[in-house]
Structure 1
Amino acid sequence: MNATPFSGIDGSDHAVLLLHGLSSSPLELRFLARLLADEGFATHTPELPGYSAGTGHQPMEQWISAAVAEFDRLAARHRHVSICGLSMGATLAAAVAHERPAARALLLLSITLNYDGWAIPWYRFLLDYVYYTPLRSRYRYREQEPYGLRNEALRSKIARAMQKNDISEVGPAFIGLPALHEAGRLAGSVKKKLKSIGTDCLIIHAIDDETSSPHNARFVGTTIGASFLRTIWLDDSYHMITSDNEREVVARECALFLRESVAATVSSHNPAPVVSRALARRLRQLATVARKA
């Protein structure tokens, strides 16, 4: 198993296990990992066999086992270990939190329980049937614009990278059908386990997420068993929120929540969702339009 080096301040008592998206690489999380390290957290962004790009194919149970093993490695060295995931990595992070309830905090970034965003092609549901045909070993889903990015300059850069390579800093150019099938199995399993996850939880999601709609975040927020729960909605990003326009906001909010999780006592009171002023104005405008319709 390959993994990025552990990073952060030597002797830190709080480590963060960072899990990237499906069939991707730690590149997706490098900005977040760097900021958390600068803030004094030890970070670890591993490659997981059968899940990460270029590591073959394994069932989702093996993804969970590999991620849990990485968690245990950190737990042997640090007083607190939190879990953070992006996209399907957030779904995997929730599965790890279920297996390791001692986790300090759970950070779910663009969690994907259903591929139901506005850019998902209409034929996506047919892939579930194609998996059971001989095409499953040959078909690969190709990523399309906007590549999870609202930032047009970065999107152009990624488009060029996708043409030259099979992977970029915001994910792979292609995802194999077996991986998508196992991701669906993972999501179905996590949906059933959310109520029993009591780990302090931060949810960050873009209201314009083109891959996983806000319904994913709302479902988690109303289902998960966490006593300390915070939801943050972004209004200037798409799916890849660790790379897009609000990546600094995401990183700062993650660091803040990790500190608050350590400092806070368990409370039955859930803080209200946090929204930016721009988002609040937009929501009011949408409500006005809805009333007039």
Structure 2
Amino acid sequence: MIQQTDFFLEGGRRGVLLIHGLTGTPMEMKLLGKGLHRAGFTVHGMQLAGHCGDADDLLATGWRDWYASVEHAADALRDKVDQLFVGGLSMGALLALKLAADRPGQVAGVGVYGATFRYDGWSIPRLARLSFMLPLLKKLGIGRDRSFMEQPPYGIRDERLRAQISSAMLGGDSAAAGLPGNPWYSLAEMYALAADVRRRLPQVNAPCLVAHASEDDVASVRNAELVMRGVSAPTELLLLDDSYHMITIDKQRRTLIERSASFFGNIADTGA
């Protein structure tokens, strides 16, 4: 059963839509959201379609459903603010980039946090690195009930936080910590999304803050470099040297919050 875990923090007329990652939850964006709210922004941490339930709930949806829920959330937030910014973590970063490509006149800036076009970080098992082949397996009807299980350190360098998150995730609390594994078919959908976004990167003309862990265990810095090379917009790179993949909650989250608030604020001031 899917639980509703999105959050809304009302602030000024500058809005930020925050998008979590595949098998994740809005809770992974809440500390960033609170920081942006303190800086004066109205913030909506949305919940992607099919998420915060069980694997069957997720498998009932695909990337077009996830993106449709992003568009719906963006429309709702635009009714409340004058300027719309969007930020996403991991797969959420791809959805944020797609929204910016599709709506160049609406998205003022993008927070690209730990963008994941491929799972190629140092903790990813060799077999899982072949997951780019999953769209073919899905087309052949192979492996619907299979998943790649999450591996330590679960994207978190902070050991105390890692213990809390992994306990909730492995204990079945998907609303708080997400699913403990990535279903093969959902990963196939993510790779289809990644291919679409990669083609669309030149159409992103909103400035991008590209933040990535320099030792990302899930998605290597090559993913960030792909964004930097691909978009048409001005970019700013923030490499975090004391965090792993989940940079919105890990050790350097305050640095990420400060840089995001400054980045979005400067764009908003210039636009005003």
TM-score (norm 1): 0.84
Amino acid at match of 1:90: A
Distance in 2 separating the partners of 1:185 and 1:87:
15
Change in 2 beyond 3 A, CA 1:121/1:150? same
Change in 2 beyond 3 A, CA 1:254/1:62? same
1:119 aligns to what? 123
Answer yes or no: is 1:239 the counterpart of 2:241. no
Distance in 2 separating the partners of 1:74 and 1:3:
17
Answer yes or no: is 1:141 the counterpart of 2:148. yes
Amino acid at match of 1:122: R
Match of residue 65, structure 2, among 62, 65, 70 = 62
Of residues 105-114 and 40-49 in structure 1, the stretch that sits farther from structure 2 once superposed is 40-49
Distance in 2 separating the partners of 1:166 and 1:4:
15
Distance in 1 separating the partners of 2:74 and 2:267:
18
Answer yes or no: is 1:255 the counterpart of 2:258. no
Amino acid at match of 1:8: E
Answer yes or no: is 1:104 the counterpart of 2:108. yes
Of residues 90-99 and 130-139 in structure 1, the stretch that sits farther from structure 2 once superposed is 130-139
Provide the identity percentage. Answer: 31
1:16 aligns to what? 16
Return the offset for 1:131. 3.1
Unaligned 5+ residue runs, structure 2? none
Answer yes or no: is 1:176 the counterpart of 2:163. no
Change in 2 beyond 3 A, CA 1:133/1:112? same
Of residues 173-182 and 44-53 in structure 1, the stretch that sits farther from structure 2 once superposed is 44-53
1:290 aligns to what? none
Distance in 1 separating the partners of 2:174 and 2:194:
23
Distance in 2 separating the partners of 1:165 and 1:257:
37
Change in 2 beyond 3 A, CA 1:158/1:77? closer
Check conservation: 1:170, 1:243, Cα contact below 8 A: no
Answer yes or no: is 1:198 the counterpart of 2:205. yes
Distance in 2 separating the partners of 1:246 and 1:45:
20
- Deviation track 1:82-135 (CA, whole Å, cap 9, x = no partner) reads 000001000111111112112111000000011111111101215625434554
Check conservation: 2:36, 2:257, Cα contact below 8 A: yes
Over the aligned positions, Cα root-mean-square deviation in angstroms equals: 2.1
Q: Secondary structure at the match of 1:213?
A: coil
Q: Secondary structure at the match of 1:141?
A: strand
2:83 aligns to what? 80
Return the offset for 1:184. 0.3
Match of residue 6, structure 1, among 5, 8, 32 = 8
Return the offset for 1:160. 2.3
Distance in 2 separating the partners of 1:98 and 1:257:
19
1:43 aligns to what? 43
- Deviation track 1:188-236 (CA, whole Å, cap 9, x = no partner) reads 1100000111011110001100111000001111110103x21111100
Return the offset for 1:161. 2.3
Q: Secondary structure at the match of 1:179?
A: helix
- Deviation track 1:122-159 (CA, whole Å, cap 9, x = no partner) reads 01215625434554321122111000011122222223
Return the offset for 1:13. 0.7
Aligned residues: 263
TM-score (norm 2): 0.90
Distance in 2 separating the partners of 1:219 and 1:143:
25
Distance in 2 separating the partners of 1:172 and 1:51:
9
Return the offset for 1:46. 1.6
Check conservation: 1:206, 1:234, Cα contact below 8 A: yes
Distance in 2 separating the partners of 1:207 and 1:171:
24
Amino acid at match of 2:240: L
Check conservation: 1:142, 1:175, Cα contact below 8 A: yes
Distance in 1 separating the partners of 2:50 and 2:166:
26
